[in-house]
Structure 1
Amino acid sequence: MIGIWHSIVTLGQQKSKYIFVIEENDGYSLTVSAEPMPLPIEITELSVEDKRLKAAGCSMFMPGETISIDLTFGESVFAGTLKLPYAGEITLNGASGRGPSLSEDLIEEVAPYRKSNVQGRSDDDIKGEVEQLLERMSLVDKIGQMSQCLASAFSFGGDVDSEPPEKLVADGKVGSILGAFDIRRVFELQKIAVEQSPLRIPLLFNADVIHGHQTIFPVPLAWSCSWDMEEIKRACAIAAKEAAASGITYNHAPMVDITRDARWGRVVEGAGEDPYLGSEIAKAQVEGFQGGSLFDPETIIACLKHFIAYGAAEAGRDYNTVDISEGTLRNVYLPPFRAGLEAGAGSVMNAFNIYQGVPVAGNSYLLRNLLRDELGFEGMLISDYGAIDEIAIHGAAKDGKEAAKLALDATMDIEMVTRQFYDHLPSLIEEGAVQEAQLDAAVRRILTYKFKIGLMDDPFRYVRPEKEIEFHFSAEHLEASRELARKSIVLLKNDGVLPIKQDRKIAVIGPFASSKDLLGPWQFSRYGNETVTLANGLRDKGVELLLAEGCKVTEEIAGGFKKAIEQAKQADVVILALGENSDMSGEAASRMDIGLPEVQLRLAEMVVGLGKPTVLVLTGSRPLVLDWFDKHVDAIVETWFLGSQAGHAIADVLLGDYNPSGKLTMSFPYKVGQAPVYYNHFMTGRPVTEENRTQKFISKYLDGPNEPLYPFGYGLSYTTFTYSEIRLDKVHLSGSDAINLTLSITNTGTVPGEEIVQLYIQDLYGSSVRPVKELKGFRKVRLNAEESKEVRFTITEADLKYYLADGSYKAEPGEFKVYVGPNSRDVQESKFELVK
């Protein structure tokens, strides 16, 4: 019975496939998934007797409802029942293996609708076609293009009172669809649009492809720690390739919010606390998703979100108030959006927060003046889920009608799922409160992108079931996921216990020892039950393992602690596999306490008390408070949520087959009371120094340090690197001149390794206070043992520019410090002067 099993069931006209993966780790384990609609089931009860398996569980899609499973296995077949709340008891007859793809049935069906030799159009040609189509459109047609609906009853937010999607599409009342998880659903709705809607305009299909479509990559905060733009770009290109094959054309990613407060659940979706690195990663993601041309059917439209300053939510509480200065807005939160726009992002999504008291969804200063006029954005602006409704809830509009006017005046093009545009724009136009020309501008942008991606000439070009079968979860894509996962791992501490010798007896203790909850939030893969666990990864390398779950993520298991201690006592080395589950981060998953759950701390204390060499392997998606572990365990490996190949990547690092090179992109606090803590803060008027630490009237805590436990840019290796002194070829910079900075890096250890050399600059004085350090460059250097290489940076006036209090963007003459080192804390420095 151990292995992968499948059963295909037909209910009415709908075919579904259920996949059961049975393993034997610390006892039997079962994971279940479904196609076409993902149905992640958490198994809460499991019993196996002879060849019969019985289980019960629940799904996040059906909270409070019980799912029951009863299966009897033969050598290569099985039979039984699956009881679902919405479908009753389903009879299953299945066989071993993953089984055929449900997409196979669609290949012949869609073939007559496909076109060949369709060519991309020029911008002038598109412009002419759009204007001709606009002239034929009624007011209802235009508002329909600006409206969106869900593909099914599944909701990403609050329920929306709406007609069925089939009717909305046929009546031309929507121009895009959100959440079509199934390629057949895309085909069905697109057919209705091009055969029944008044003007036969094809639909855009939107989805949140955040860190992979079916092959899942590390969560974005994790992959940012690779500092590897090419690998991040490749991950996004693969995600686009898989999603586009399933009919997805418009992505709700990347999230490029700067994130400084680890309590905020959505830090998992971003690139951390630094605007420079965040800008480089924003560019890489847009280029990955959109490729060289949006006409390429293996690309999807990228959407920069959330414009702007969503990451500054007070107290790290999602959807909370944001109240920041214009300088912080422009110097901290704007750069990644600017970089994404310069890379050609086709869409932008508004943030949920307010700015200067006005919700962003209806904020004309931010969306029209800054985004459109100043930054030159000509693409599609889409509201986040419910954001137009929330303008009134915030108290910035009397009702939905006024909210719709504010959003349109701010140049909002598409309302995601809710219906304020549809309900109120006709009367607003009739009253003269808004002009039909405003709708024309929005529809013009939407239609332009429908032409750009080839939909208007070939509506079914993205419905490619044969490519879905070829691309999804392919060996090539899985290898790419594994490579980026290895590069994303950050070694936070190592007292010599790592790498572990393969002949050592290893105990893996904790809720993530055999857990497949390694994909993280915001993913909808049908292959989640084939995620490589930590135990899988180590066993595949021939390691002798002792396993014990010990406890669940947040609760005890009967006898769990006792069994964990028994297993740990027999081991030479203990791996504590602890962390957060995927529900503890992401949207609407903010935490007041960012330590590990109390039950895991108790398990850790018991295991550490045995005196064995102990390694903490940490799963999660935010910086956690780790001061106790830093003092009591021998090594700490931050693995985040690494995706489909997580277990292989972690095993590669633990056993020394891969030398870790990741560097943190968010600071880890000593205590939650430091949050938000970040390296690029301002100097106060009473800063802490080595000389005044014992004095009272300075900016410090009474009960702990100001600095984080692990700073931005920090990460260890299995080798060591030494830096020569910084060499500047001049100390005065002027005009179009440049300063060349050089230094030598030497691998002083015994194994090859990769170092990320980081350059920081501090503007010592000026008309506005500047941060104590700002990242301005980095180099990834791979060195063999005892090898040295010269590293060069070029500093120009452009690196010194910022937005001043008067709104100008320039560099001011004066003195600057330049710092180079392996992280933002451990640096050497030199000085230069900008002269005019």
Structure 2
Amino acid sequence: MDHQQLLSLLRQMTLDEKVAQLLQLATPFFKGADDAGMITGPMASLGVTEREVRNAGSVLGLSGAQQVIDIQTNHLKHNRLGIPLLVMSDIVHGFKTIFPIPLAIGCSWDMALAERSAEIAAREAAVSGVHVTYAPMVDLVRDPRWGRVMESTGEDPYLNNLFARAFVRGFQGQDLAGDTDRVAACVKHFAAYGAAEAGRDYNTVDLSERLLREFYLPAYKAALDEGCEMVMTSFNTIDGIPASGNAWLMRKLLREEWGFDGILISDWGAVKELIPHGVAEDEAEAAYKAIRAGVDIEMMTPCYVHHLAELVRSGRVDERLVDEAVLRILQLKSKLGLFERPLRGADPEREREIVFCEAHRSSARELAVKSCVLLQNDNEVLPLAGTGKIALIGPFAQSGDILGAWSWQGAKEDAVTLRDGLAAAGLDASRLIVAEGCGVDAPATEAQLAAAIEAAGEADAVVLALGEHAWMSGEASCRADIRLPEAQLALIAALKPLGKPTVAVLFNGRPLDLHGVADQVDAVLEAWFPGSAGGAAVADLLLGKASPSGRLAMSFPHAVGQVPVYYNAYNTGRPNVPTAPDHYVSKYLDIPNEPRYPFGYGLGYTTFAYEAPRLSAAELRADGELTVSVRVTNAGRRTGEETVQLYVRDVAGDVVRPVKELKDYRKLVLAPGESAEVSFTITEPQLRYYHADLTFASDPGEFIVYVGPNSRDTAEARFRLTSTV
């Protein structure tokens, strides 16, 4: 439909029909659903009538080509104007083929593979009938206690921007109407959900506007600049006002300043949650504040359908606000081609061919290899020798619980376990000894511990498969103690006296406090939750069939007492200078200030030597550019991939500036002894930041350039910015 046809359709709708378009309900409400027997429960609790269900605008949690066909066909039979449903789901890091969790993908620093993962997820979702995915999640994260760090790509604004764009391109492609193998993306959670106090889900966020704009908002804007069709509100407050009722955030900033005219949807139940937040007295006031803030779709609460029509009739709410919201919804349905093809890509036959196909699983394996981060490799115990026995011990030795949260359609039984991955890589029963050792959080029985000690005693090397249950991270899965469960630490301690070369492989959804791990083993491979092909990918790395190349997108704390700990922090008036120790400086008495493993960190199976960075000039003019060059040499014995990172510091600003900020990076693959010249270009716009008055500009003066393999181990050079625009 063109715009005029959509306006004509809008004029034909009654006020109640328009309000119902703003309602999103879960699958069981709709006739034709596999679990439609549940319909009386949700309907009773929400007080939604059958008429409102028939006029509802969208459904969430629905997938499966035949089920979508049945529900959409039935819906169109009973909807007076024949307006199709929008089908939305959480396709976060894969549909049936599960890719590594987004935090792991962030550690790949590989935009092409990230985009491909979203494209494959979209293909599988679309053929199964999904129109919209609630992804990407681009919240900047600094506190690993928060369970939802697993959904983010890390702590750095620049890297998050790149991933936000890559995911949107992958999900949406270039033509949503013509390419039925793509889905519309919904960036979330707007805004600053990753800054929840104490790392506790749904908790308060209190940031200055300058901090919000400089660190937390850019990735959302990047997703929208890439064409992202939808935005989801966050559960948290911004400046004391919950996001779903925050008119400054949604109307002034998102709509007016950024020009976003797509759909704004609440998160699950967030409109009604304005009441317990304490900014709405009842459902009517919640509906009033949400529609005035610009929320178009209310997810799974009935404030709009119960009260919005009366608010319009009483004159408290201008009907134009409702019309604007409905028109946005109709426009997306039109862009997806749903008026002409309401079943869109749903196709049971193609679904059987495409979903979880070999090509998709191969891509998942490739990205899993690139996402793992080698954190420690004392005595070069990795890769494991091609001969000798290996004891694979731990609760994740044969576990399929390696998909992570938000792997909605993924099945643990379909995942390649680490044991199966090693066996497929050539380790037969004569070389691979497997023992569970203990449960994830259940202490070892006498029999388990005895079997683990016997297995380790027979082996030439030990691989400990450790980590968190998938439910230990994700939404509502925050942890104050982010060490491995005590049962696993006890297992490590019990095997340590055997003196065998030991590798810890970690399956988890957040950076961990690795006390009791890093100090007890020789090597640590962070595998995260690596997805459907995870065991095969980890086996490739352990056996040297692939080399680790992942780099941390989020710092690992030395201890939980440091958090939030992140690389791009501000200095203080009394910084801790190790070369000039002083008591009266900003430091801990009992632990270092620095994280155990910093942002950008990761080892490989070779080493790289960096020469000092060179600048093309000592000064940079506002209308010019400056080149930073560095020569990098593979000084080891194996071919490897290096991620050369460029950081900049503004020495003196209008407001305090971070000690380092990532500005660019380059990936290169070098053979042993091979060298390469890596060059970066710096221009004045890269040096801009938000001043005290919120102007976005640079300042003349001195800057420091840092180049190295991570945010800590860098060499520096200096230049001056001599004029500004």
Shorter-chain TM-score range: over 0.9
Distance 2:287 2:52 in 1: 22
1:522 counterpart letter in structure 2 = W
Partner of 1:37: none
The offset of 1:528, in angstroms, is 2.8
Partner of 1:533: 417
Partner of 1:248: 130
Distance 2:309 2:84 in 1: 23
The offset of 1:130, in angstroms, is 1.2
Partner of 2:479: 591
SS at match of 1:230: helix
2:534 counterpart letter in structure 1 = A
Partner of 1:524: 408
Distance 2:17 2:4 in 1: 19
Q: Does 1:833 align with 2:709?
A: no
SS at match of 2:433: strand
The alignment yields a C-alpha RMSD, in angstroms, of 1.5
Distance 1:469 1:818 in 2: 52
Partner of 1:83: none
Partner of 2:338: 455
Partner of 2:144: 262
Match of 2:661 among 774, 792, 798: 774
The structure in which a higher percent of residues are strand is 1
Match of 1:626 among 505, 514, 526: 514
Partner of 1:18: none
Partner of 2:25: 149
Distance 1:798 1:646 in 2: 40
SS at match of 1:152: helix
Q: Deviations over 1:75-102 (max 9, x none)?
A: xxxxxxxxxxxxxxxxxxxxxxxxxxxx
The offset of 1:169, in angstroms, is 6.7
The offset of 1:431, in angstroms, is 1.5
Partner of 1:231: 113
The offset of 1:356, in angstroms, is 1.0
On the 8 A contact 1:152/1:179 being kept in 2, the answer is no
Distance 2:110 2:436 in 1: 34
Partner of 1:790: 677
SS at match of 1:536: helix
The offset of 1:587, in angstroms, is 0.1
Match of 1:137 among 9, 13, 20: 13
Partner of 2:32: none
The offset of 1:691, in angstroms, is 3.4
Q: Does 1:500 align with 2:384?
A: yes
Q: Deviations over 1:379-419 (max 9, x none)?
A: 11000001101111100111111111111011111011211
1:450 counterpart letter in structure 2 = K
TM-score, length-scaled by structure 1: 0.83
Distance 1:642 1:467 in 2: 27
2:72 counterpart letter in structure 1 = Q
Comparing both chains, which one has the higher relative contact order based on Cα–Cα distances under 8 Å and sequence gaps of 6 or more?
Answer: 2
The offset of 1:735, in angstroms, is 2.2
Partner of 2:542: 654
On the 8 A contact 1:519/1:582 being kept in 2, the answer is yes
1:672 counterpart letter in structure 2 = V
Distance 1:144 1:167 in 2: 11
Q: Does 1:329 align with 2:209?
A: no
Correspondences of 1:736-815 after superposition (within 5 Å): 736-815=623-702
Q: Using the aligned pairs only, state the percent identity.
A: 50
Correspondences of 1:568-587 after superposition (within 5 Å): 568-587=456-475
SS at match of 1:631: coil
Higher mean C-alpha deviation, range 262-271 or range 186-195: 186-195
Q: Does 1:816 align with 2:693?
A: no
Q: Deviations over 1:478-503 (max 9, x none)?
A: 00000000000100000210000121
The offset of 1:170, in angstroms, is 6.1
The offset of 1:556, in angstroms, is 2.4
Higher mean C-alpha deviation, range 615-624 or range 695-704: 695-704
Correspondences of 1:645-684 after superposition (within 5 Å): 645-684=533-572
The offset of 1:160, in angstroms, is 6.9
Distance 2:42 2:444 in 1: 36
SS at match of 2:3: helix
The offset of 1:163, in angstroms, is 7.3
Correspondences of 1:687-698 after superposition (within 5 Å): 687-693=575-581, 695-698=582-585
On the 8 A contact 1:149/1:165 being kept in 2, the answer is no
The offset of 1:650, in angstroms, is 0.3
The structure in which a higher percent of residues are helix is 2
The offset of 1:630, in angstroms, is 2.1
On the 8 A contact 1:146/1:415 being kept in 2, the answer is yes
Distance 1:293 1:165 in 2: 36
Distance 1:568 1:129 in 2: 72
Partner of 1:73: none
The offset of 1:639, in angstroms, is 0.2
Which runs of 5 or more residues in structure 1 are unaligned? Answer: 1-124
Q: Does 1:640 align with 2:516?
A: no
Correspondences of 1:267-282 after superposition (within 5 Å): 267-282=149-164
Q: Against the structure 1 CA distance between its residues 135 and 328, is the aligned structure 2 distance closer, same or farther, given a 3 Å change threshold?
A: same
Partner of 2:65: 183
Correspondences of 1:399-418 after superposition (within 5 Å): 399-418=282-301
Correspondences of 1:345-384 after superposition (within 5 Å): 345-384=228-267
Partner of 2:322: 439
The offset of 1:526, in angstroms, is 5.0
Q: Does 1:473 align with 2:360?
A: no
The offset of 1:126, in angstroms, is 2.3
The offset of 1:164, in angstroms, is 9.9
On the 8 A contact 1:126/1:452 being kept in 2, the answer is no
The offset of 1:505, in angstroms, is 0.2
On the 8 A contact 2:506/2:524 being kept in 1, the answer is yes
Q: Does 1:567 align with 2:449?
A: no
Distance 2:465 2:238 in 1: 41
TM-score, length-scaled by structure 2: 0.96
On the 8 A contact 1:405/1:434 being kept in 2, the answer is yes
Higher mean C-alpha deviation, range 753-762 or range 185-194: 185-194
Q: Against the structure 1 CA distance between its residues 795 and 545, is the aligned structure 2 distance closer, same or farther, given a 3 Å change threshold?
A: same
Partner of 1:293: 175
Distance 1:760 1:129 in 2: 52
The offset of 1:135, in angstroms, is 1.1
SS at match of 2:149: helix
Partner of 1:117: none
Distance 1:767 1:245 in 2: 53
Distance 1:471 1:802 in 2: 46
Distance 2:65 2:49 in 1: 16
On the 8 A contact 1:166/1:189 being kept in 2, the answer is no
On the 8 A contact 1:178/1:417 being kept in 2, the answer is no
Q: Against the structure 1 CA distance between its residues 161 and 273, is the aligned structure 2 distance closer, same or farther, given a 3 Å change threshold?
A: farther
